[in-house]
């Protein structure tokens, strides 16, 4: 029997503080491997909600260094070290990321050195388990292999000044999940996402009334529009395409676009299976991709119930590809 291969969107939001969409973070559970891609705001809370101990993570992977993808690292690292059912890590905290990761983690160690010293003396915690190991990469290629899980990094385009920036292709028992990372429309996402079981992509959308504002133009220019994402999906042809890191821009006087608008614009270029991710949406990857939506995950109990449903979130008519 095949082992479980599950992808969970812990956070699908952006820098805007939003209790319904925490910061970008994606959990991968494959056999005995548990890894995290990015550690945005509230990643540890989401892990707690689905009963995954923080100390059980084998590695944290970073796509790039924007703060909304990294502000949760100290919480993940140090809370996972504490002696508790939610922590108790028994090895160094392992981080895998592009060139620059080593420097960032060394500075975090310096920033929290006093906290570590105090807890070692006062709580008798093992200092070695608070240490950090780092593996850096700077090219496309395999960056992790363990327990049958293989992770391949690939360069994406988040803007001329926002480098390095990467996406990840995750392979396990002949199944594939691909995460775009933050990017503009990019051929590498199409190439590495081709034929994937699950292709998770970022997206950005703004009302027409705001598109003349320089601030909005800058943000939109660093991301992928729904129509462009649809082109990626149409060319890559995954079993299921899904959105995360939803950049839904608005202002004090003009509301952000609706999910329905996001879907409608995507449907201009793509008619295949499509899901709009929410925090704690998960995908079980096997012969089919089964989507599980969390019920009561944001405002409900600390351990959320799950509802299993079909891998389509929109209610638009079936197109030719979807009806096959």
Hey, which residues are catalytic here? 68
Rounded Cα distance between 214 and 1, Å, is 54
Rounded Cα distance between 100 and 34, Å, is 24
Tokens at 34, concatenated: 């548990």
């Amino acid at each position: 029997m095949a082992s479980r291969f599950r992808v969970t969107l812990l956070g699908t939001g952006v820098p805007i503080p939003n209790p319904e969409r925490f910061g970008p973070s994606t959990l991968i559970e494959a056999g005995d491997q548990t890894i995290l891609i990015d550690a945005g705001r509230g990643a540890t809370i989401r892990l707690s909600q689905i009963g995954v101990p923080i100390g059980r993570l084998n590695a944290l992977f970073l796509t790039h260094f924007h703060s909304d993808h990294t502000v949760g690292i100290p919480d993940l690292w140090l809370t996972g070290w504490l002696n508790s059912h939610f922590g108790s890590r028994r090895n160094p905290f392992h981080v895998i990321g592009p060139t620059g990761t080593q420097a960032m983690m060394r500075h975090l160690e310096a920033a929290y050195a006093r906290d570590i010293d105090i807890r070692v003396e006062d709580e008798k915690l093992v200092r070695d388990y608070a240490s950090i190991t780092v593996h850096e990469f700077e090219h496309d290629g395999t960056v992790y292999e363990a327990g049958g899980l293989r992770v391949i990094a690939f360069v994406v385009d988040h803007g001329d000044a926002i480098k390095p920036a990467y996406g990840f292709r995750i392979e396990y028992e002949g199944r594939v999940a691909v995460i775009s990372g933050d990017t503009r429309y990019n051929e590498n996402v199409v190439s590495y996402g081709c034929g994937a079981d699950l292709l998770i992509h970022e997206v950005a959308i703004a009302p027409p009334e705001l598109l003349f504002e320089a601030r909005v133009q800058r943000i939109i220019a660093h991301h992928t529009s729904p129509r462009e994402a649809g082109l990626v999906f149409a060319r890559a042809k995954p079993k299921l395409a899904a959105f995360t890191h939803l950049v839904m821009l608005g202002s004090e006087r003009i509301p952000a676009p609706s999910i329905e608008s996001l879907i409608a614009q995507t449907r201009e270029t793509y008619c295949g299976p499509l899901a709009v991710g929410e925090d704690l949406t998960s995908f079980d990857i096997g012969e089919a991709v089964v989507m599980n939506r969390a019920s009561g995950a944001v405002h409900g109990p600390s351990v959320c119930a799950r509802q299993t449903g079909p891998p389509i979130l929109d209610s638009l008519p079936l197109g030719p590809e979807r009806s096959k």
